[in-house]
Amino acid sequence: MKHISKFTFSILLVLLSLTGKAQEKNTTQKDSIKKDSIAPKKERYGLRVGVDLFKLTRSFYEKDYRGLELVGDYRLTRRHYLAAEIGNEDKTVDDDRVNFTTKGTYIKAGFDYNTYQNWGNMENMIYVGLRYGVSSFSQTLNSYKIYNPYPYFGEATEVPSGDKFNGLSAQWIEVVAGVKAQVFNNFYVGFSFRLNRLMSQKKPDTFDNLYIPGFNRTYNGNFGVGFNYTVSYFLPLYKSTVKAKKTEKKK
């Protein structure tokens, strides 16, 4: 009985010791969490620059296309970003009636609004935005087909051309929706969808601008769609303290 009592007493001492350590650990964790919640949170602000991989890789697998687009954004506030894209394209289009080549450059500028509420030190984005785009380009009419009203006597006749039209331009508004996620330290990947609406354009006298650098293929004359897949690097410039929300005291 004495041995059993000593053994039981020893077990009780061990359990009490473990309980005390567990309580001490929980208290330490709570204090740490409390300190973290009390400590002011700081967020990074800076410039993010990158490249559109969609246009870059498309140049390798599509023989009638060459293009490059650089992207960038600058964080103004917790949710607002200035954003811009600049690029050039060389695209040959073989349409039902015409075959033409478009070459030119473009720039798009606007803003993004981050709708995603990040946790901790995360800096991801689920955003919507708006761009104003301007493009300067040329069109080369490679060939065209003469319509044959009597198909029984043969198909449309293709006529070589080579006429070049310089000094063409276009301006448009672009609605953007996209995602950017941090995969490594300061490295981000993202994608976005674009819906474009032409505001004005200068086009050749003989045919429409069926393709505009930066705007892409035109549909119904005024509308276009776009997509990009980007990889970018963030250059932190400074940090800003996040102001804690004030809570109203209950009366």
The ranges assigned to domains in the chain are 1-34, 45-236
More confident residue, 17 or 93: 93
Q: Report the pLDDT value the prediction gives residue 250, as an integer from 0 to 100.
A: 47
What DSSP string describes the chain?
A: -HHHHHHHHHHHHHHHHHHHHHHHHHHHHHHHHHHHHHSPPEEEEEEEEEEEHHHHHHHHH-TTEEEEEEEEEEE-SSSEEEEEEEEEEEEEEE-SSEEEEEEEEEEEEEEEEE-----TT---EEEEEEEEEEEEEEEEEEEEEE--S-GGG--PEEEEEEEEEEEEEEEEEEEEEEEEEEEETTEEEEEEEEEEEEEEEE--SSS---EETTTEE-BTTTEEEEEEEEEEEEEEEEEEEPPPPP-PPP-
Is the predicted pLDDT of residue 20 greater than 50, yes or no?
Answer: no
Distance CA 164, CA 166 (A): 6
Q: Report the pLDDT value the prediction gives residue 229, as an integer from 0 to 100.
A: 96
Q: Report the pLDDT value the prediction gives residue 244, as an integer from 0 to 100.
A: 63
Q: Report the pLDDT value the prediction gives residue 248, as an integer from 0 to 100.
A: 46
Q: Does residue 183 come out as left (phi exceeding 0), alpha (psi in the -120 to 50 range) or beta?
A: alpha
What confidence tens digit (pLDDT) does each residue in 208-221 have?
A: 888 999 999 887 67
For 112, 124, 178, 204, the CA distances from 129, given in Å and listed in that order, are 4, 15, 9, 32
Is the predicted pLDDT of residue 81 greater than 70, yes or no?
Answer: yes
pLDDT band at 19 (very low <50, low <70, confident <90, very high): very low
What confidence tens digit (pLDDT) does each residue in 117-151 have?
A: 888 788 999 999 999 999 999 999 888 777 666 55
3-class DSSP string for 45-94:
EEEEEEEEHHHHHHHHHCCCEEEEEEEEEEECCCCEEEEEEEEEEEEEEE
What confidence tens digit (pLDDT) does each residue in 5-15 have?
A: 444 445 444 44
Overall CATH class of domain 45-236 = mainly beta
Is the predicted pLDDT of residue 69 greater than 80, yes or no?
Answer: yes
Is the predicted pLDDT of residue 251 greater than 50, yes or no?
Answer: no
Mean pLDDT in residue range 16-44: 53
- Nearest residue to 204 via CA among 144, 160, 161, 164: 164
Is the predicted pLDDT of residue 4 greater than 50, yes or no?
Answer: no
Q: In terms of pTM, does the model score above 0.75?
A: yes
Span between the terminal Cα atoms of the chain, in Å: 63
Q: Report the pLDDT value the prediction gives residue 148, as an integer from 0 to 100.
A: 62
pLDDT band at 240 (very low <50, low <70, confident <90, very high): confident
